[in-house]
Chain A
Amino acid sequence: MAKAEPRVIVVGGGLAGLSAAVRVAESGTKVDLFSLVPVKRSHSVCAQGGINACNDVARQQGYSEWQHMDETLIGGDFLNHQPPVYEMTHWAPKIIDLLDRMGVPFNRTSEGMRDLRLFGGSLFKRTHFAGASTGQQLLYGLDEQTRRYEAEGKINKYEFWEFLWPIIDDEGVCKGIVAQDVRSMEIKAFRGDAVVMASGGNGLMFGKSTMSVICTGAAVARCYQAGAYLGNPEMIQVHPTAIPGEDKCRLMSESARGEGGRVWVPRKKGDDRHPLDITEEERYYFLEEKYPGYGNLVPRDIATREIFWVCQEGLGIGGANQVYLDITHLPIATKNKLAAILEIYEKFTGDDPREVPMKIFPAVHYTMGGLYTIYEPYDPERDTYTPASEPKRQPNEGLLYGDPKNMMTNIPGLYAFGESNYAYHGATRLGANALLSCIFDGLYNGLSVHNYAHAPQGTPAGELPDALFDKYVEQEKAKVQKLTESTGANNPYEIHQELGLEMTATCTVVKEEQRLLQGREKLAEIKAKYQDLKISDTGVYTNQNVSFARALGDMIVYSDALMEGSIARKESRGSHYRSDYTERVDDQFHKTTKVKYDADADKPIIEWEDIPSPLVPLRARTYGKVDASPEKKEEAAAS
């Protein structure tokens, strides 16, 4: 019998999924690509600001890849792993070059070179951008290459298919997935010698966020329930500047701050005059006063908390949870550079931000935790990749290229890339690093997946008996059947709203023990309600009601892990700020929160894992902070 050709399954068609698919297909392995939506509509399109990479211009200003790594590590409050971050930042210039070759319309200087902009967390210009829709342009660039391989028969797309469960054989090795066509509702098993999860973030768990409606985190939660560990689930990035909306919060990119946008509130509480009637002296530019070094360019967690606190003090616009983000003073050319994001504000609020300061407030934006993954640190003895012409690297300076372990979860054969992976961002993500980490995962670790698929653990997927796959299909069919027959009391959309409000109140900007314990009880209540669901759609075709209700169950399980992680981490670090434990506590918590699902008790089990610091020692995050504000006694929280 001819041996079955190895195949790789990629779940998710955003930047991470597409770059993985392209890289694996290019290596000569066939790829089956699954996405809930046509890949060109993945949430990556919404990224506005840009993508970080040291280039020659930055280098000549004194910047380096090492410094990019250092900024990423300190930005993440040292919860990131250093070897993968080293590798990512050192690969960044190559990634930009590649995207450039793919035809991504990066902004240009007069000489025709790629232009750079300033972004939070750095004092150097090192962010490449394509208008104010960099994510869209990068995704399209990768989508085009994917389509090219699709035309050549190397990539097979399954769009409008939802990932339901990983298939794990008797030896605990991942051998494929169960998925459902959300139009015909057909449920099927697919064999794969390696599976890459690139399913994005979990913003919908917080009700309203800046994410797409498909970003439920359900795919990650399903892997977690199937035995994969979560890493740092409590690390949720709340973006400082979003436009609050009825259906969702819309992102106002950090580039508005990077290009000179200023954040302020009236100095006088409850001052409800028109912003243009408030004079300079009557305005409180709180970020500039407290952080003179970085000003409006402080990292996101700091900006978020400062905005939150200022509103808590009652200094928000008219006493509400809103502050001004002001770009009215900027020159026309800069406003034009920001045109696309300004249009969003105008389109959804009706006000012209060129004339009137924008009203903004923080919103849940990015999932820094996710599936726990492992990697193989660089070892000069085993390096078969680095050309002799390149400078020699020390151990731990990066990853071992092509090693099958890179970004694999604790389940052999199951990988996690992009936002569904926990490795790169640590306790808060540096702006414009997300696009980089997603594409880096796909391009760099795609080779690891290819290598693994050609020498998988145990029996190759193509040779395993049908019974194994049928068992999982039956498991998923039974879940759908149970949901379809639910005639209980509770509407899933209402439960979702309740979940979102609770998670936003307890697990976002500021966390506190008592409130978290209440949240834990509230989650138990929500879980009980979920057991008594009412499904109003009995259709057997494109039943969105069933799909949503199923994802809701997974969101609740994931929320549990997030809540327990938040309770257990009794310190403040990056985006995780505990008002009852305001200091970073390295000896106890310079560790990964590893969360395992206890299926029998239906609850998360927390474990801790030390994080080595082979390259950069830990230091405090100050960003040049001073106690300048006469209005507020500082709690020295952000450091």
Chain B
Amino acid sequence: MIAPNPDQKFLVRVKRQDGESQPAYWQEFEVPVRPSQNVISVLQYIAANPTTTDGKDVEPVVWDAGCLEEVCGACTMVINGRARQSCSALVPELLAEANGGPITLEPMTKFPVVRDLFVDRQRMFDNLIKVKGWVPIDGTHSLGAGPTESPEKQEERYAISRCMTCGCCLEACPQFTKDNDFLGAQAIAQAYYFNEHETGKKLKKERLDVLMGPGGVSDCGNAQNCVQVCPKEIPLTEAIGKAGRQLTVHAVKKFFTGS
């Protein structure tokens, strides 16, 4: 790799919004090139030097961040038009993508903006309550080990369990909008995840009732965008497909038994 020239600079365009009901506007910042730079270090630089390219001192950009290791899911935003984590978005690649710049940073569009690049993703957590995203254990008393599980099943579940509720799948999904009630790939995959656990499946019927209802699996348009943008490479469409098959069986049973 060629050592970066300390005098070299690049442009970053940030879409700003002072609050949820406020109008959005753009600001442009000039940032010096540094080695192993990611969008987080760009935003940290802007926080310490909040001056736009036209020399105006402005309020520092607000954004959400946590671990900076692409595990907590906090720092998701729309970078050069694509939803991803700002910690793992490396500047050289972004500049190449944008033909030398400017790099654009925008908040996700499917969630209410809190301020600037910071959005409110509470809906995703609420959806986990809707699909009963938990194993109904009998409490925390000493009751021995859980059920055994084959390594294959563990691997399948592990892949889905890495979902960090970042929202990329929903941002990319054409069916998921700010004002409809589609559950989206994240919640459906989680419902499937818990249905596949020996104890978790005790709530399978209830979960499938939710997935069968409004905003459930049938609203998925199978656009496959979710699986392409998922930073954790979770087999989302596969999980939705499998949940769909569980639903068919569930619906047939329901038809014949009435429960």
Using a CB–CB cutoff of 8 Å, the interface residues on chain A facing chain B are 22-23, 26, 37-38, 40-43, 45-46, 94, 97-98, 100-103, 105-114, 130-131, 133, 136-137, 140-141, 144-145, 147-148, 150-151, 183, 212-214, 245-248, 250-251, 344, 347-350, 443, 491, 493-494, 536-539, 541-542, 544-545
Contact = CB atoms under 8 A, between A and B. Distances in A.
Contacts of A97: 142-146
Contacts of A105: 149, 154, 157-158, 161
B162 A541 contact: no
A544 B62 CA distance: 7
A140 B154 contact: no
Contacts of A26: 139-140
Interface string B87-118: 11010000000000000000000000011001
A133 B72 CA distance: 11
A241 to B, nearest CB: 14
Interface string B125-157: 100110011111101101111101111001001
Contacts of B165: 38, 40-41
A113 B164 CA distance: 26
B34 interface: yes
B41 A536 contact: no
B59 interface: yes
Contact of B145 (A101, A140, A248, A541): A101
6 residue pairs, one from A and one from B, having the closest CB atoms: A112-B148, A100-B146, A144-B134, A103-B135, A493-B48, A542-B115
Given A40-B73, A46-B71, A101-B143, A539 B135 contact: no
A128 to B, nearest CB: 11
A208 to B, nearest CB: 10
Contacts of B234: none
Interface in B39-71: 40-41, 44, 47-48, 50, 57, 59-60, 62, 65-71
A349 B90 CA distance: 10
Contacts of B66: 37, 41-43, 212-214
A246 B38 contact: yes
Report which residue of A38, A112, A493, A494 has the largest number of chain B beta carbons within 10 angstroms of its beta carbon.
Answer: A38
Contact of A247 (B44, B128, B136, B151): B44
A29 B102 CA distance: 54
A147 B130 CA distance: 10
Contact of A133 (B59, B71, B114): B71
Nearest to A23: B140
Contacts of A349: 36
Contact of B69 (A42, A250, A493, A536): A250
Interface stretch (B192-200, B236-244, B251-259): B192-200
23 contacts: A37-B72, A40-B73, A40-B125, A41-B67, A97-B145, A103-B199, A103-B200, A106-B154, A108-B149, A110-B151, A151-B129, A212-B68, A212-B72, A213-B68, A214-B66, A245-B36, A247-B41, A250-B68, A344-B70, A347-B70, A350-B1, A542-B118, A545-B59
B74 interface: yes
B18 interface: yes
Given A100-B146, A491-B48, A544 B73 contact: no
A289 B199 CA distance: 49
Contact of A100 (B60, B145, B151, B164): B145
Contacts of A348: 36, 38, 88, 90
B21 to A, nearest CB: 11
Contact of A213 (B1, B65, B139, B148): B65
B133 A144 contact: yes
B129 A46 contact: no
Given A40-B125, A45-B164, A148-B136, A536 B148 contact: no
A246 B145 contact: no
Given A100-B145, A130-B158, A137-B161, A443 B140 contact: yes
B69 A541 contact: no
B37 interface: yes
Nearest to B165: A40
A113 B154 CA distance: 11
A350 B91 CA distance: 12
A199 to B, nearest CB: 14
A493 B44 contact: yes
A246 B37 contact: yes
B114 A183 contact: yes
A213 B74 CA distance: 11
Contact of A539 (B59, B74, B90, B199): B59
Contact of B67 (A46, A100, A350, A494): A46
B214 interface: no
B35 interface: yes
Report which residue of A45, A109, A213, A443 has the largest number of chain B beta carbons within 10 angstroms of its beta carbon.
Answer: A213
Contacts of A103: 134-135, 146, 194, 197, 199-200
A468 B142 CA distance: 42
Nearest to B198: A103
A246 B199 contact: no
B19 interface: yes
A542 B134 CA distance: 32
B148 A344 contact: no
Contacts of B34: 246
Interface in B158-177: 158, 161-162, 164-165
Contacts of A46: 67, 69, 71-72
Given A136-B162, A443-B140, A542-B115, A536 B71 contact: no
